Structure 1
Amino acid sequence: MLASPLFVDIRRGAVEDLSTLLHERYVSSTGRVLIAVGRTQGADIWRRISSSLPEATVFEVPDASLAAAGALQEELGKQGYDAVVAIGGGRTLDVAKYAATRAALPMVAVATNLAHDGICSPVASLEHPHGKGSYGVALPLAVVVDLDFVRAAPRHLVSAGVGDVVSNLSAIEDWLLAHRTQGEPVDGLAMAFARTAGEAVLRRPDSIEDDAFLVALAEALVLSGMAMSVAGTSRPCSGACHEIVHAVDQLFPGKSNHGELAGVGALFATSLRGDTALLGEMAQCLHRHGLATDPAGLGLTTDEFVRAVLHAPTTRPDRYTVLEERDLDEAGVHREVETFTTAVAAVL
């Protein structure tokens, strides 16, 4: 059986109907929900809709940490809530997904940006005293994306989602590689969802200035989450590209953002596989949306990027990708980075 959101609403003004959604979809007939909000847009949205949910309680999420998720879970135990409604960006949603899962309560995701596929994924990325970890969680029961608030978010928090979605196309190739060489099983439905998500934005000529593109991007992010749910793992959306993301996060924290890192990681992995056609299309797509296409665009030197690539396989030792297949030494990675940056420059 396939776990999926009960309801997905992507449009302008969607948040205004939140109380109706909770009632008509039998999430909460009383409106007794805990609203988890981020510090910026989430709080602003709550002020707009608070009169329609008089029985709700508000919890401000301070950061994307296990401690914050624990505090939210503790708050959930203080009275009988019907559900958790998370309003904000990926950090707020991840904290709420983790706490709601541990408290065995349904969770509604109200996304205020489209930075990555966490809006509907069965994974929460949370910080702890020794770094950052990925934790299995339940999917949101419903997903709401209000395009009015997405448009109000910083541009890079919208366009970054393009990088995360497009990286699916690289992750799929890594999964197929592991299937061919290691006998790792693949899931055709999960792969179809992930590929459809990546292809949905790869060649579109419009941009985040257009509602039609924002709807396509939001749907693609939801499909990516569904792909991971079907597979029971992040495999269809996470390969060498995300190993590089995790390596950069560990070695050079604060550099760029998840989606943009995933995009460059996918370009490098695609270059390693020698797929020049896909490399060109991906690079043009990222460039069209103002995203980085090389280490310099991420604020990394060549030497720093090489260090990240060498460190990347250790971030997911159970995962076989093109990085593990090539098993390059430092000199080899330097050569491949030069080949990659030269190839990308030639198509832009």
Structure 2
Amino acid sequence: MVGTPLTVDIGAGTVAGLAPLLADRRISSGGHVAVVVGPGLGEEIADSLELANAEVWHTEGGGVEEATALARKLREGFYDALVGIGGGRTIDLAKYAASLSGLPMVAVATSLAHDGLASPVASLEDHGRKGSYGVQMPIAVMVDLDYVRRSDPALRRGGVGDVISNLSAIADWRLAERVRGETVDGVAVTFARTAATSIVHREDGIDDDAFLIALAEALVLSGLAMATAGSSRPCSGGDHEILHAIDHLFPGTAGHGELAGAASLFTAWLREENGLSAGLDTCLRRHELPRVPADLGLSDEQFAQAVVHAPLTRPDRYTILEHLELDDAGALERVKAFAATYG
């Protein structure tokens, strides 16, 4: 049986319902709650709430070491639940700490930058390198549009790039099914595809409430897809391998969703899926997201270097990159042709 959140609340003013939610004994049996907040909007939300018996800790969204230290505090304090309030880094840190300490975790998202707000995966730095860690899904998810609207527009655009990359990831999974006989979970694919298609053809944008609700729902659905599959497979293919390679080779290049979107266009183009490529390209253009290496501030040579390195980031995963087995020269030739097509 797949674990899912007890509640998902998306809309304007939803944080006002946090205190009543924490009174639910399925979440906090004794009302002894810890709250971890990120900088900026997360701190503002925490200050605005009156949470009895809650201890608030502040974080800059650190890595594994900070999350492990937080888990130690949670065990020593005999808390019932952990609330994470903030952006993606804060939510991931809280998910990891809650999983280590065996506590239910409530995610209160202030941005829609990627699908981590409801996923069973946390992305954290460890000794300067980013890694993905399996965690428990949040027991409840809250997205308050009043705060999301105030987040950096680049973060909202990033959420678009991340969720539409599901379509490329699904194509890679189907490729692995055909070539290697890998089992594809149809329910997980349905969740992931529904999430992506709910966004890719929409003509409204990140300043419209209807779009933000759809985007938040899509990111939650992506989390459910991963929980159903038991891995990130339905939402992470060759596109995310390239993303992680760029993060490793050229740290600070761009945000998660920006990299995912551009890399998904490249991997769809590699598979010669013209219909998918056209849809992704149109969506990326509509939301002014990066599409080619130059948009990311990378040269063709740097992007090709990431393409060659990408399979090393997930040795257990079969995608179009493993299928083609591109060497340095082959990768550069493909990247230059791709850039000429979409640049």
TM range (shorter): over 0.9
How far off its partner does 1:283 sit? 0.9
Secondary structure of the corresponding residue to residue 125 of structure 1: strand
1:141 pairs with one of 120, 130, 139: 139
Deviation per CA, 1:99-142: give whole Å up to 9, x if none: 11111110000000000000011011111115121111000000
Offset at residue 330 of structure 1 (A): 1.8
The amino acid that maps onto 2:279 is: E
Q: How big is the shift at 1:146?
A: 0.2
Q: Partner of 1:4 in structure 2? A: 4
Percent identity between matched residues is 54
Equivalent position of 1:332 in the other structure: 330
* Map of 1:229 onto structure 2: 227
Residue of structure 2 equivalent to 1:38: 38
TM-score of the two chains, using structure 1 as the length reference:
0.96
Unaligned 5+ residue runs, structure 2? Answer: none
CA deviation vs aligned residue, 1:86-106 (integer Å, no higher than 9, x gap):
000111111111111111110
Provide the rounded CA distance (Å) in 2 between the counterparts of 1:181 and 1:234: 20
Q: Which aligned runs of 4 or more in structure 1 are off by greater than 6 angstroms?
A: none
Aligned residues: 343
- Contact 1:38 / 1:60 at 8 angstroms: preserved in 2? yes
Gaps (5+ residues) in structure 1?
A: none
Worse-superposed segment, 99-108 or 18-27:
18-27
Retained in 2: the 8 A contact 1:30–1:55? no
Residue 67 of structure 1 aligns with an amino acid whose one-letter code is E
1:39-118 aligned at under 5 Å gives the runs 39-49=39-49, 51=50, 53-118=51-116
2:332 alignment partner AA: H
TM-score (norm 2): 0.98
The 5-angstrom pairing of residues 106-185 of structure 1 reads 106-129=104-127, 131-185=129-183
Distance 2:123 2:81 in 1: 21
Residue number in structure 2 paired with 1:189: 187
- In 1: Cα distance, 2:148 partner to 2:70 partner: 25
User: Aligned Cα RMSD in Å?
Assistant: 1.1
Alignment of 1:308 with 2:317, yes or no, is: no
> Residue 227 of structure 1 contacts residue 236 of structure 1 at CA under 8 Å; is this kept in 2?
yes
Check the 8 A contact 2:68/2:100 in 1, yes or no.
no
Instruction: Tell me, in whole angstroms, the C-alpha distance in 1 between the residues paired with 2:210 and 2:31.
Output: 32
**Cα distance, 1:338 vs. partner?**
2.2
Q: Alignment partner of 1:8: what SS?
A: strand
Q: Which amino acid aligns with 1:124?
A: A
User: Is 1:272 equivalent to 2:245 in the alignment?
Assistant: no
Aligned partner letter, 1:31: G
